[in-house]
Amino acid sequence: MSDKLLTELFLNEEAEVIAITGGRMVRTRLRSLGIIEGQKIRKISKVGLGGPVIVLINRAQLAIGFGMARRVVVRTK
């Protein structure tokens, strides 16, 4: 078990969201797309050089900008 940022997750690694750091705006935007504490998440792709991270949650693909993905803390098994 280890905690890391969503950006640090390996490709195809599965994790659980444990915290979202950041203001109300960021939290609300992430929450509205289903990224909340306790949610299982899998990183399926990323664009290099600080590009977006692509995750799979509840069978939906989401693209999250790098800066925002850094605000998502996840825990791997």
Q: Among 4, 5, 13, 44, which residue interacts with another protein (rule: CB under 8 A)?
A: 44
Contacts of 3 (CB under 8 A, 6+ apart): 18, 73, 74, 75, 76
Residue 74 as a binder of another protein (CB under 8 A): the answer is: no
Element (H, E) at 72: strand 72-76
CA–CA gap between residue 48 and residue 58 (Å, rounded): 24
Nearer to another protein, 3 or 37 (CB): 37
Is residue 48 involved in binding another protein (CB under 8 A)?
A: yes
Q: How far is the CB of 11 from another protein (least distance, A)?
A: 7
- Asked whether the beta carbons of 51 and 59 are under 8 A apart, the reply is no
- Which residues make up the interface to another protein (CB under 8 A)? 11, 25, 28-34, 36-38, 44-52, 54, 58-68
